[in-house]
């Protein structure tokens, strides 16, 4: 006895790589996609055959900049990550991860979390304790005195120990990276500059090149990936030189940076929806917001160039920051299509194929292809014609993760 197969027929196939193929079929056996094609297909007795009548099948998406615990971050005077007791934050993280899955993100990659929450989330998801995406857990945000603890006045006499972790000198970065890995982090986060929503100046380097290199090399030695909040050009070039895995934001990216990023195969998470949302709430006229607006405009202008040059761009943003709730993940795709003028096909590729590659699982996830794991969405609509369909959870009629339905509003034919 074999398990019944799931056979989706008459689908509009958006495979994460190529233009849409109408009249397609996709067969899932166990947790694998075993057959993909167009035209006639022999079905077996016992198959669950669903005629999708032209609805779209696409890969589950990957959000690559995810803060599981964040909730109105910056709205209270507490040091980041110490706004609530750790157990309460863990419950929030569980909720946010479930939300991501229900929004069609079958994978998520952390961009930093306090209190060792992420590693336990991964375990709880993998052991079936809570629903959630495939999750790459993150570390605290490592940075130096005067930046890493800039929300704590000096007279509190406390190092930051919430979302941030202060290190000074290469030895302290080595030790911190090793310790975060021991606590379960698989993605180390560095805070390299201010800017992009962070109040500290964007032009300063918060880490020296030797600190930076020590952190990157130690992460790689321990089998972890490493990313950084990086805004100014000097820091982007330093990150390229050190061989970082992911540049977060990269607001001052230019032609020289793009060439280096492509050469080293570095991923970039521009995360433009947060500054865009923040600016729409704050208006203009403040020095801080004017600088933020200039950076955002520059980013939107340089992104088509970066995309054309072959930069591995990914989606993900600071959901959970003040005024920027979790659950809005798919709005980001619309901004890249509408404001940066990137074709929806390319943005979908960022959200699927590139995300899987960032996870180091490009051979298993990220496209709808034979032999890949069955992380799939069925949509009532075509995201290549109108990317906003992904924002309407009611139009995501099915979500499959690892061959199992997370959501199933398909009706058997």
Of 9 and 110, the one with the shorter C-beta distance to Zn ion is 110
User: DSSP letter string over 202-264?
Assistant: TTS-SS-HHHHHHHHHHHHHTT-EEEEEE-SHHHHHHHHHHT-SEEEE-TT--HHHHHHHHHH
CA atoms in the 13 A half-sphere facing the CB of 224: 29
The least distance separating Zn ion from the CB of residue 150, rounded to whole angstroms, comes to: 15
The least distance separating Zn ion from the CB of residue 232, rounded to whole angstroms, comes to: 17
Of 206 and 318, the one with the shorter C-beta distance to Zn ion is 318
* Distance from C-alpha of 96 to C-alpha of 102, rounded to nearest angstrom: 10
The least distance separating Zn ion from the CB of residue 229, rounded to whole angstroms, comes to: 6
The least distance separating Zn ion from the CB of residue 406, rounded to whole angstroms, comes to: 25
The least distance separating Zn ion from the CB of residue 384, rounded to whole angstroms, comes to: 28
Of 197 and 383, the one with the shorter C-beta distance to Zn ion is 197
The least distance separating Zn ion from the CB of residue 140, rounded to whole angstroms, comes to: 12
H or E, element range at 302? helix 287-309
Beta bridge partners of 379: 56, 396
Of 111 and 399, the one with the shorter C-beta distance to Zn ion is 111
Of 148 and 383, the one with the shorter C-beta distance to Zn ion is 148
- Non-local (6+) Cβ contacts of 29 within 8 A are 2, 3, 5, 6, 403
Beta bridge partners of 407: 399
SS3 4: coil
Of 134 and 196, the one with the shorter C-beta distance to Zn ion is 196
Of 57 and 111, the one with the shorter C-beta distance to Zn ion is 111
H or E, element range at 295? helix 287-309
Q: What angle do CA 258, 110, 230 make, to 5 degrees?
A: 35
The least distance separating Zn ion from the CB of residue 164, rounded to whole angstroms, comes to: 12
**Residue 408 C-alpha from the chain's centroid:** 24
Nearest to 383 by CA among 116, 104, 158: 104
Token couple for 326? 């979790």
The least distance separating Zn ion from the CB of residue 141, rounded to whole angstroms, comes to: 8
Place of tokens 């280096």: 260
Of 252 and 318, the one with the shorter C-beta distance to Zn ion is 318
Q: Applying CB under 5 A, which residues contact Zn ion?
A: 111, 318
* Distance from C-alpha of 12 to C-alpha of 14, rounded to nearest angstrom: 6
């Amino acid at each position: 006895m074999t398990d019944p197969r799931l056979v989706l027929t008459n689908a509009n196939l958006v495979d994460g790589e190529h233009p849409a193929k109408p009249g397609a079929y996709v067969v899932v056996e166990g947790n694998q996609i075993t057959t993909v094609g167009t035209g006639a297909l022999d079905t077996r007795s016992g198959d669950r055959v669903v005629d999708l009548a032209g609805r779209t099948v696409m890969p589950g998406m990957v959000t690559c900049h995810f803060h599981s615990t964040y909730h109105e971050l910056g709205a209270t005077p507490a040091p980041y990550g110490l706004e609530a007791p750790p157990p309460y934050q863990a419950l929030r993280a569980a909720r946010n991860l479930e939300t991501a899955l229900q929004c069609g993100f079958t994978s998520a990659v952390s961009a930093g979390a306090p209190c060792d929450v992420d590693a336990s989330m991964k375990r709880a998801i993998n052991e079936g304790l809570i629903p959630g995406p495939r999750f790459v857990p993150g570390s605290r945000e490592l940075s130096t005195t005067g930046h890493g603890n800039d929300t704590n006045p000096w007279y509190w006499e406390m190092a930051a120990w919430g979302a941030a972790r202060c290190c000074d000198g290469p030895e302290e970065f080595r030790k911190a990276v090793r310790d975060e890995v021991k606590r379960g982090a698989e993605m180390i986060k560095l805070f390299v500059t201010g800017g992009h929503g962070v109040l500290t100046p964007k032009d300063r380097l918060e880490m020296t090149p030797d600190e930076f290199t020590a952190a990157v090399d130690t992460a790689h030695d321990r089998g972890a990936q490493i990313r950084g909040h990086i805004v100014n050009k000097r820091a982007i070039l330093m990150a390229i030189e050190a061989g970082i895995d992911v540049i977060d934001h990269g607001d001052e990216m230019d032609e020289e940076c793009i060439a280096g990023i492509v050469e080293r195969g570095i991923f970039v998470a521009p995360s433009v929806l947060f500054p865009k949302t923040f600016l729409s709430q704050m208006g203009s006229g403040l020095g801080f917001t004017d600088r933020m607006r200039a950076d955002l405009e520059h980013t939107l202008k340089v992104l088509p160039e970066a995309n054309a040059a072959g930069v591995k761009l990914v989606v993900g943003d600071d959901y959970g920051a003040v005024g920027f709730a979790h659950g809005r993940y798919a709005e980001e795709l619309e901004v890249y299509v509408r404001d940066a003028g990137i074709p929806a096909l390319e943005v979908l590729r960022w959200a699927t194929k590139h995300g899987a590659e960032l996870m180091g699982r490009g051979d298993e996830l990220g496209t709808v292809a034979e032999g890949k794991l069955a992380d799939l969405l069925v949509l009532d609509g075509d995201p290549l014609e109108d990317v906003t369909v992904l924002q309407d959870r009611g139009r995501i009629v099915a979500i499959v993760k690892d061959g199992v339905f997370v959501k199933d509003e398909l009706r058997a034919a």
